[in-house]
Structure 1
Amino acid sequence: MRQLLSSLSYFSIFFAPFIFPVIVWIASRDSYVAMHSKRALISHIVPFAAAVPLFVLTFGADNPGSVFGYVILFVIIYFGTFIYNIVKGIQVLREYA
């Protein structure tokens, strides 16, 4: 059950990116599950936290090439954390298998 809740916290990027890890983190009495749900929550927040400065820099840019560069950087950050969540979810599931 520990692995299932922990991996679902990572896999929640598909269905409830912020809500599910927060609920598991608050409701869990197990430190292992709480640790993974906290990590999953942070990895769900990272792309949106990176979007704020990129959004501000995009409006301050005079060159369309730099705007395109900021968008590409955001896409790389977003898909990187997306893949990270999938890989960590699978690793947690296979940990005790």
Structure 2
Amino acid sequence: MNPKVKRILSAFCYFSLFFAPFLFPAVIYFAVQDRGVTCHAKRSFLSHLFPLIAIPLGIIISAETEFNMTAIIISVILFGLTSFAVMVWNIIQGIKVFTR
């Protein structure tokens, strides 16, 4: 496989957070035979799982505390900021892979 195509596929796995968060990395993981590309696909897929788990967890915590304002603020700060950090991490990783 062409090295340029490998870089593009690997970078798109990270950037797919914006257009196909789970589908694109999963398809690339199973469809491409290159070890480097599948490694990036797996890493990006796992990083896309975090917001999927964090946001409902924050809602559950808020509901269990009877929508206490303090619990809502802590949940938003904790899960919202970490989800944002994961998004930034995916962008940085995609840029790093693409520019190598």
TM-score using structure 2 length = 0.87
Q: Which moved more, 1:56-65 or 1:80-89?
A: 56-65
The superposition leaves residues 63-92 of structure 1 with CA deviations (integer Å, 9 ceiling, x where unpaired) of: 311212102222101110110010000000
Number of equivalences: 95
For 1:3-82, list aligned pairs within 5 A: 3-62=7-66, 63-82=68-87
Please identify runs of 4+ aligned residues in structure 1 that moved more than 3 A: none
Q: CA deviation at 1:53?
A: 2.8
Fraction of identical pairs, as percent: 35
Rounded Cα–Cα distance in structure 2 between residues aligned with 1:31 and 1:52: 33
The superposition leaves residues 31-87 of structure 1 with CA deviations (integer Å, 9 ceiling, x where unpaired) of: 100000000001111111122332221112143112121022221011101100100
* Contiguous gaps of at least 5 residues in structure 2: none
TM-score using structure 1 length = 0.89
Quick one: which amino acid aligns to residue 32 of structure 2? S
Rounded Cα–Cα distance in structure 1 between residues aligned with 2:36 and 2:78: 33
Rounded Cα–Cα distance in structure 2 between residues aligned with 1:82 and 1:11: 9
Quick one: which amino acid aligns to residue 53 of structure 1? L
CA RMSD of aligned residues (A): 1.2
SS in 2 for 1:17: coil
